[in-house]
Chains A and B, each alone.
Chain A
Amino acid sequence: MNTNRRKQVNPVHFSSLVRCLLVALFLGAGGLFFVYMKNQQFALAEEIRQIEKRIAGVRAQNETLLARVTELSSRRVLQQKIADGFIVMKPIQDNVIARLTPPAAAVADGILRTAFVERGRP
């Protein structure tokens, strides 16, 4: 029996080793990449949630301000401001009104009126 063990060493199959290492590396990298991607997804989702929250807040603030503007420019408030003297209304002179159809003058005196005002009322 041949006892020289030096001649019986198992050869290292580098190609297999490399293949195994590559597979392990690939699986490891895949796993790490999956975890990384998952983390990214969570981070992005959280970011989206925060942005959504901010947008909702800004939109609500905008609507609140719009409601306030609507109230302040409402007829009721404007009339009150006129009554209190904060706003003054000036009648538009007839010579600055552009009319699509020429107006008919009042028959008797030829003076154009839009309507008789408070003159003559008891």
Chain B
Amino acid sequence: MKWTERTRAGLACGAVALIFTVYSGRLVHLQVAKHSEYSRLAAEKHTMRMVIHARRGLIFDRNGELLASNLPVRTVVADGSHIKNPAAVARIAAPFLEMDERELLQKISSDRKYIVVRRAVAEEKAVALRKALEEANLQGVELEQDAVRIYPNGQMLGHVLGFLDHEGTGIQGIEMTMEKYLRGRDGYRFSEHDRTGREIMLYRGQEEQAEHGLNVRLTIDMSLQAILEEELDAAFRDLKPEMVVGILADPVTGEILAMANRPCFDPNRPGGGKPEQMKNRAITDMVEPGSTFKIVVASGALNEGTVKENTGIYCENGAFAYAGKILHDHHGYGTMNVHDILVKSSNIGSAKMALMMGDAKYYEYVRRFGFGEKTGIELPGEIPGLVHPPQRWDKLTITRMPMGQSVSVTPLQITMSMSVIANGGRLMTPQIVRAVEDTEGRVVWEKPPKVAREVIPQKTARFVSNALSGVVGEGGTAQLAKVAGFTVAGKTGTAEKMSPGGGYAQGKYIVSFVGYLPEEAPRFVCLVLIDDPKIASAVNYGGLVAAPVFSRIGERAARHLDLVPALRAEPVVALGTGAKREGSWTP
């Protein structure tokens, strides 16, 4: 080839063209083939996904009283790669964060980009810290928004409200069951930051606003709750029992108006509570109900036509031999009708009614009253209780169960079973959540009252209700449950306490009273259950221990609800005049 001028020029142009082609090819490779990879790397370097925290919904009582709220706090975080002078930062920040300077220095002396220095720092302290750092021209410490849950009423209603874990998720009570409504949804924002870590507003990217959590309105009336808790506190202080449970419910709607347990805990400091203090025993503990269970056999026997209202049942003068054992009544009774069996709380009469009904029918009524199944209340940890089917009964079960032995139930189940009588035979599903509302107060979801089933006809319920008003009347076992000005209906319970080693614990009782008022048109059902009150054995009965507590709660609740009394007010009978022991088994 002739190395002419033209050839050289051609070669030079070709070489230049080739170089440009290679560069162009590389450029296309980087821009097209590797586009997504390098975009991601660039975004990772400069773009941050900032979380916009959703505010957790509030919890209100039925009248709008605030029960759970949020307190804004800050989480102090550090970017180790931006801290030029860790010692100075530690010296300035330590007093604001109430931390040891050396410990803080150790924490921030790192190249990590995200170091959580301290959580839940009060807003005012955090703002003061930022100001101090800005004045000292120190960088690398940021304040993130956060919130802690506060319960303004402290331990009041603590078992119902529950509390949150350290990540802000409900792990007890309403906080847990209504988590999906309360939580809300965090938003996000993509933004670019300069080399000092400061956001470049101009390059803000995609953004989605946070959806704040919805507010929950409960059926609880805090005025009634305060009354219940005060009276339970007094009982817990005076009687020193293992536990006390109280429930107030509206029998017509099934709404829980108040629910309290002792011992209790403060949900603001859940870490300080012992496990036994944190249980909502109204739904998580089961007890033998004692004589409050007699309403089941009376209702069932009347409804099935096994007995009529005036059928006489011979009560064996207080000692009934059956299946090799003797069942006792406290007093020897002759022939009594259903009304008197309930008023006198005769074990023998109740056992005989169950025997007349037969295992299967009696068991059917036990289940129809809601025992042996969860009530479905919106609280976590509810247990169904323990009701064995007739196939697993021994010969004595049919005589034990009507007096509330050989069966375990929750306090809420006892309350709801009494609501059946108060509500004309209809069992309502208990509810503690009334509605879910948005932040503007508009109702998003409302829970209407729900009839679980019609257990007995209204006529039967009226008859039993009338008998239960006799329990509180002259000659009944619960004269101390009277609420002056009102007709009260109810039933006492005195159950021997189960021993952990099997059998019954000597001298230990679970005493209770469950009743409602006014008997003619019940506005509330109230249960008071006291586990092992430390009181002389001679007066350790539901009618003497739990009934007066009921009376005080009933009086104050009636006043709060502005109920107009229908009876002349009479002084309440003195302690120990009228309540009777309800009998026991002896071998």
Are the CB atoms of A103 and B202 closer together than 8 Å? no
**Given A114-B563, A120-B571, A122-B574, are A70 and B202 neighbors across the interface (CB < 8 Å)?**
no
Point out the residues of chain A lying under 8 angstroms from B127, CB to CB. 57
How distant is the Cα of A42 from the Cα of B483 in the complex, in angstroms?
Answer: 75
B572 touches A121 (CB 8 A): yes
How far, in Å, is A106 (CB) from chain B's closest CB?
A: 5
Mask: chain A, 25-47; 1 = CB below 8 Å from B; 0 = not:
00000000000000001100110
Q: How large is the interface on B (under 10, 10 to 19, 20 to 34, 35 or more residues)?
A: 35 or more
Which of B70, B202, B565 contacts A113, CB < 8 Å? B565
Are A120 and B569 neighbours in the complex by a CB distance under 8 Å? yes
Of B154, B562, B568, the contact of A114 (CB 8 Å cutoff): B562
- Say yes or no: A42 contacts B150, CB within 8 Å: no
Centre residue among B70, B201, B556, B570 by max chain A CB count within 10 A: B201
Contact indicator A63/B568 (Cβ below 8 Å): no
Residue numbers in A under 8 Å from B567 (CB-CB):
106-108
How long is the Cα–Cα vector from A74 to B151 in the complex, in angstroms? Answer: 9
- In the complex the two chains form, what is the Cα distance from A14 to B222 in whole Å? 92
- The closest CB in chain A to the CB of B557 belongs to A115
Q: A70-B152, A106-B569 are in contact. Are A49 and B563 (CB under 8 A)?
A: no
Please determine whether A63 and B555 come into contact, CB atoms closer than 8 angstroms.
no
B residues adjacent to A (C-beta < 8 A): 65-66, 69-72, 122-124, 127, 145, 150, 152-154, 156, 199-202, 222, 226, 483-486, 555-556, 558-559, 562-575
A64 to B573, CA, bound (A): 52
Which of B124, B145, B559, B575 is in CB contact (< 8 Å) with A115? B559
CB distance from A98 to the nearest CB of B (A): 13
Q: Is A60 an interface residue (CB 8 A)?
A: yes
What residues of B have a CB within 8 angstroms of the CB of A113 in the complex? 485, 565, 569
**B549–chain A nearest beta-carbon distance, Å:** 12
For the complex, give the distance between the alpha carbons of A114 and B483 in Å. 12
Distance to closest chain A CB from B301 (angstroms): 35
B525 to chain A, nearest CB (A): 17
B202 engages A67 (CB within 8 Å):
no
Task: Show 11 residue pairs from A and B whose CB-CB distance is below 8 angstroms, ordered by the A residue.
Answer: A63-B71, A66-B69, A106-B567, A107-B566, A113-B569, A115-B555, A116-B483, A116-B569, A117-B555, A120-B571, A122-B573
Kindly list the 6 A-B residue pairs having the minimum CB-CB distance in the complex, ordered from nearest.
A120-B571, A116-B484, A45-B201, A74-B152, A108-B568, A115-B559
Q: Is A104 close to B, CB under 8 A?
A: yes
Query: Given known contacts A41-B202, A67-B150, A115-B555, is B71 in contact with A120 (CB within 8 Å)?
Result: no
Please tell me if the beta carbons of A115 and B123 are within 8 angstroms of each other in the complex: no
| B226 A60 Cβ-Cβ under 8 A | no
Q: Which residues of A contact B154 (CB under 8 A)?
A: 74, 76
Chain B residues positioned under 8 Å from A104 (CB to CB): 564, 566
* B153:A115 contact, CB within 8 angstroms: no
A77 to B122, CA, bound (A): 21
Closest residue to A38 on the B side, CB-wise? B202
Residues on B with C-beta less than 8 A from A121 are: 571-572
- Report Cα–Cα, A116/B559, bound state, in Å: 8
On chain A, the residues within 8 Å of B123 by CB distance are: 60-61, 64
Residue from A42, A60, A75 in contact with B222 in the complex, judged by beta carbons closer than 8 Å? A75
Chain A residues whose C-beta falls within 8 Å of the C-beta of B124 in the assembled complex = 61, 64
Whether A76 contacts B156 in the complex (CB less than 8 A), given A67-B71, A103-B564, comes out as yes
Choose one: A46, A59, A60, A74; the contact of B201 (CB below 8 Å): A46
**In the complex, which of the residues B202, B572, B575 contacts A120, with contact meaning CB atoms closer than 8 Å?**
B572
**Nearest residue, chain B, Cβ from A118:** B555
A56 at the interface (CB under 8 A from B): yes
Q: Are the C-beta atoms of A106 and B572 separated by less than 8 Å?
A: no
B195 to chain A, nearest CB (A): 15
Q: Kindly list 4 other residue pairs between chains A and B, CB separation below 8 angstroms, not including A60-B72, A106-B568, A114-B558.
A: A70-B69, A75-B222, A75-B226, A120-B570
Which of B145, B156, B484, B564 touches A75 (beta carbons < 8 Å)?
Answer: B156
Assembled-state Cα–Cα distance A64/B146 (Å): 12
Q: How far is the CA of A6 from the CA of B389 in the complex (A)?
A: 130
State the CA gap A64–B571 with chains docked (Å): 50
Residues of A within 8 A of B484 (CB): 115-116, 120
Interface contact A115-B72, CB-CB below 8 Å: no
- Distance in angstroms from A85 CB to nearest chain B CB is 18
With the chains together, A70 CA to B69 CA distance in Å?
8
Query: Is A48 engaged at the interface, CB distance under 8 Å to the other chain?
Result: yes
Measured CB to CB, the nearest residue on chain A to B573 is A122
A116 and B555 form a contact (CB under 8 A): yes
Closest residue of chain A to B200, judged by CB?
Answer: A45
Task: Tell me whether A75 and B153 are in contact in the complex, defined as CB-CB below 8 angstroms, given that A67-B71, A106-B485, A115-B558 are known contacts.
Answer: yes
Bound complex: CA A59 to CA B570 (Å): 57
Pair B152/A76 contact, Cβ less than 8 Å: yes
In the assembled complex, the Cα of A61 lies from the Cα of B125 at a distance in Å of: 11
Q: Which residues 80-122 of A have a CB within 8 angstroms of B?
A: 103-104, 106-109, 112-117, 119-122
Interface pair A70/B66, CB less than 8 Å apart = yes
Residues of chain B within 8 A (CB-CB) of A114 are: 558-559, 562-565
Contacts of B153 in A (CB 8 A): 74-76
Chain A residue, CB-CB nearest to B157: A75
Residues of B within 8 A of A74 (CB): 66, 152-154
CA distance A63 to B71 in the complex (A): 7
Chain B nearest CB, measured from A53 CB (Å): 10
